[in-house]
Structure 1
Amino acid sequence: MEFTVQSFEDLERVASYIIENAKYKIFTLSGNLGAGKTSLVKYLGKNLGSDDEISSPTYSIVNEYHYPSGKIYHFDLYRINDFEELINIGFHEYIDSGNYCFIEWPEISVSELPEHHEFLLNLKDQTRYITFK
């Protein structure tokens, strides 16, 4: 399914649809810099009921947020260079926790993931396109 996003209201609507229709709690988000990966995670967290300030985990690699039913883990794996680094941050413990996991730049982790949803985000002429699998 593909969504066209031209406003924050559209993004909020997309996040609501995704959370309502998700079968799994693990999500990968792929796309170029500035495509809206972190913005989508902000709205997904808000839709889950989180009051935390969701921001990019670029330097921390993983951020933890809370929502009424548990925790949200938000990863940015852009700076992870190899599989060993992924293991050293405790990646499997996060993924196996049963909590929501949103993974930006997931390429290095895909082979280690159980069933999950995939997003591809593209930005073209001020319009974002989100493909949800």
Structure 2
Amino acid sequence: MNEQLLSDDDVTLYGLFVEAYACIKPLVHRDLGIPDAWFEVLLRLGRTPEHRLRMTDLADAVSFSSGGFTRLADRMQREELIRREADPHDRRAALAVLTDEGSKALHRALTSHVAQLRAHLTAALSDDDRRHFERILRTLRDANR
């Protein structure tokens, strides 16, 4: 076994990133009142102008295959959280649209989520730490798209 690779700083840094995320995620998602995947879909729609996105773009944004996302969207549509509409600019595409019921569910989930984020993520960081953390996360995301 290569001891140098085992103790490599990059391996340690990545391990800390994974461990921190694994600790924080269940804490900030525990009182959402809806499944995590539904929350991610509703949040993406809620933060998008006109609260609508092409189904394929939304599936990519929440890291689902098109087939997996179709099943997820079917369940959310049955619960009246989203609806599908034809894309007026591309007749082959469909849009996912946030419904009033979906907006209410998102509001309830976000109320808990923000409180948990503040308690378990941002409370541990200074204002400078938050700015640096955001910059680092954006850099990592953008470098690996």
TM-score (norm: length of structure 2): 0.29
TM-score (norm: length of structure 1): 0.30
Q: Which has the larger radius of gyration?
A: 2
Q: Which has the higher contact order (CA 8 A, sep 6+)?
A: 1
Structure with greater proportional helix content? 2
Structure with greater proportional strand content? 1
